[in-house]
Amino acid sequence: MSDNDARRMAVLLNAFRTHFPGPEPIVVRAPGRVNLIGEHTDYNEGYVLPIAIERDVRFACRSRSDRRVRLWSVNFQGGSEFDLDAIAPDPQQPWSNYVRGMAAVLVREGLLHRGMDAAIEGNVPIGAGLSSSAAMEVAAGVAFQVTGGFAIEAVRLAQLAQQAENEFMGVRVGIMDQFISLLGQAGHALLIDSRTLAYRAIPIRGEEHTFVVADSRQSRELAASAYNERRAQCEEAVRWLRAEIPEIRSLRDVSVGEFLRHSARLPAVVARRARHVITENERVLEAAAALEREDFARFGALMNESHESLRFDYEVSSEALDLLVAAARQVDGCLGSRLTGAGFGGCTVSLVRTAAVADFTAHVTRVYREFAGKEPFVYVTRPEAGAGVLA
């Protein structure tokens, strides 16, 4: 355990002991994620290629004999309580709504019958596009499991966490974020088929190349409403294309060739949204193959293509993200760079030769400071394991 990890654990346990005196808790964690490629494809039943990261959300938790759930957030220095028989949002402590949503779906499934006390701490940046919300939901699900005395298969728990986000939080996310938070593997990306939920671990070999995250520290206030709008536009594209290709169920079923033959009948904006999703699915599959044969140059080129598609066709980039990507690509040793997450702020991810990481960090920081007027948060990330019990 690193010094920083030990400090985090001490703070979490101290908070639990202060607010919930009694027997010692169990500690569980769920990581955030970086999506290497495959943005806005998961809710179109397509392919994604994320990694779980070392940043996580942790619950120190203990079972209760009644149906009361008591929570304390270290990050927000606030508490929230609810009963499993009356779960409603808490407008005063909105961070607790992710736990409430998870409890609601587990109660509905007939799995959750008793409450818990929990102190919560996380170091996944909020609003940065690294899935702090999914990490919170998944950590809550694992905490309810270990304190509630029930077991649930990981893929099913990911589906329930997705439902919590869709129904309780009102954001129509796909399955990727919750899936990788639960099923991530150290040293590997996960190629996920969002329709079948089949997945394959793709090894990221060697020490010569590194993924570097740059946090724009730009608010993503528009992300939720724009996310739902983009999803509706994709569904509209399917309705238009079904007139010519009646067997399709989602944009996942449309090839690039079919899209080119029939796209003229779509409204212009809807056509651009569909073009991104359809071409992005092809890029994900090619990127996974490139990683398997250790063709990092091709992988980086696909990352660049993905960003341009997200910028011009899906229109979810921002001036700050484009600045970070442009600065990254100026560095000799950066093979590719793109936004990661829903967009409208948040982070970029870049594939960088390890020997060039220091130069990369210095250049991107200097350029962003000069043009954006603030420091980005730049750090190396590596694929980590998914959620589980820490102690």
For residues 37 and 204, is the Cβ–Cβ distance under 8 A?
Answer: no
Please list, in sequence order, all residues whose beta carbon lies within 8 angstroms of the beta carbon of residue 313, skipping any fewer than 6 positions away.
272, 273, 275, 276
Residue count of the chain = 391
Give the integer Cα–Cα distance in Å for 105 and 119.
21
Please give the torsion angle defined by the CA atoms of residues 137, 117, 389 and 204, in that order, rounded to the nearest 10 degrees: 30
Half-sphere exposure of residue 168: CA atoms within 13 angstroms, side-chain side? 28
Q: What span, in angstroms and rounded, lies between the C-alpha atoms of 96 and 133?
A: 11
Name the nearest CA neighbour of 107 among 119, 99, 117. Answer: 99
Amino acid at 344: F
Q: Which helix (H) or strand (E) holds 120?
A: strand 116-122
Quick one: which of 38, 46, 33 has its CA closest to 309?
A: 38
Kindly name the residue from 177, 215, 253, 313 that is annotated as catalytic.
177
**Is residue 177 flagged as an active site residue?**
yes
List the alpha helices (DSSP H) in the chain. Answer: 3-19, 97-108, 132-148, 154-163, 176-183, 223-242, 256-262, 268-292, 296-312, 319-329, 357-372
Annotated catalytic residues are 177
